[in-house]
Amino acid sequence: MTDATARVRELNLYRQYFDLVAAGTKTIEVRVKYPHLADLAAGDTIHFRVKGTDETCEVNVKRVAEYPSFAALLDGEGPSNVNPTATREEQLANIRAIYSPEKEALGALAIEIQLSRS
């Protein structure tokens, strides 16, 4: 992807996940494959914000992979890359508390990220 086609996205994160991203220990972000994220690609930039605050951090998208479910995503990407502080079972329960089965049915995106040093 060239600089001309790279996009910047603004996405909210819960505090606990934001802190892991900002520390550089969370390298896979999980999202539902909503239409507005379907074209997310390597080279894009994401500005994560703690919802309701001005606190942000910037990451570079290294890779995006699609999975049919959150369980398949965790198995494919490794739970410690998604959240190094929780077990696979805890993560699956937490993700499914955020996203309904109808949303999960849209597909799950594993977004490999790297904290921007700029």
- CATH code (residue 99): 2.30.130.30
- The 10s digit of each residue's pLDDT in 16-27 is 999 999 999 999
Assess if residue 3 is contained within a domain. Answer: no
Assess if residue 50 is contained within a domain. Answer: yes
pLDDT reading at 50 higher than 60: yes
Degrees to nearest 5, angle at CA 65 with 64 and 67:
145
Number of structural domains, the chain?
1
Cα separation of 49 and 18, whole Å? 8
pLDDT at 117: 77
pLDDT at 6: 79
Mean pLDDT along residues 46-57: 94
Assess if residue 102 is contained within a domain. Answer: yes
